[in-house]
A and B are shown apart, each in its own frame.
Chain A
Amino acid sequence: AQTVTQSQPEMSVQEAETVTLSCTYDTSESDYYLFWYKQPPSRQMILVIRQEAYKQQNATENRFSVNFQKAAKSFSLKISDSQLGDAAMYFCAYIGANSKLTFGKGITLSVRP
């Protein structure tokens, strides 16, 4: 079975600074997708970024980028120029052949003005 581990329950970042959220996963599959989701206080799940395992190039979406290390099974999210609106809970997630999302425990990110 696949597992996703987010070991840091909380992080804090100063506005305009950069923060990195860690995620590791375990799988025996070779073809899969990884995601970072944001859940603000409204609790709507918002897709931040996705990475296909077969792509070596790290995905980027504006201020958000990932460091995907397939051999190490690591998938960290970097948020640049942090904004107050980035404060939320962030979940790392995995989809493999069974099409089910496996989520990490999540990390609460706070942004200090």
Chain B
Amino acid sequence: GAVVSQHPSWVICKSGTSVKIECRSLDFQATTMFWYRQFPKQSLMLMATSNEGSKATYEQGVEKDKFLINHASLTLSTLTVTSAHPEDSSFYICSASRPDYNEQFFGPGTRLTVL
């Protein structure tokens, strides 16, 4: 299979703190990982694309200093929400792609609540 995990699944933090979300491909090497944001009853919005060993590519309108992405290995990408504020509260989903598949494999998502 192609399993992607995310940790934590749910996090509550105070305004002004930073939160790190991990995305791991458990049984394959992911050449590319993607980070999405989803509000309730809405579609997934692509935030950024990350490739192992290189800087992430952010979509228009996404603040790269607010959402730091690191893709340190072929199985791990992290998203850090810096100085989080209540408007950053959302559901964050990662996905990973394999070079032999024209498909993305999704993690279970992380619910972030900023108080």
Contacts and interface: CB of A to CB of B under 8 A. Distances in A.
Interface of A: 33, 35, 42-45, 47, 50, 52, 89, 91, 95, 99-101, 103-106, 108
A35 B34 contact: no
A103 B44 contact: yes
Given A43-B91, A45-B93, A99-B32, A35 B108 contact: no
A89 B43 CA distance: 9
Sort A-B residue pairs by CB-CB distance and give the 6 closest, nearest first.
A45-B106, A103-B43, A33-B102, A44-B108, A105-B43, A43-B109
B103 A44 contact: no
Interface residues of B, number: 19
A42 B91 CA distance: 11
Given A43-B91, A91-B44, A106-B43, A101 B104 contact: yes
A100 B46 contact: yes
Contacts of A44: 106, 108-109
What secondary structure prevails in chain B residues at the interface with A? strand
Contacts of B41: 89, 106, 108
Interface of B: 32, 34, 38, 41-44, 46, 49, 91, 93, 95, 97, 102-104, 106, 108-109
Nearest to A92: B43
Given A43-B93, A95-B104, A101-B95, 15 more contacts: A33-B103, A43-B91, A44-B106, A45-B106, A47-B103, A50-B103, A89-B41, A95-B102, A95-B103, A100-B49, A101-B46, A103-B43, A104-B43, A106-B42, A108-B41
Contacts of B102: 33, 52, 95, 99
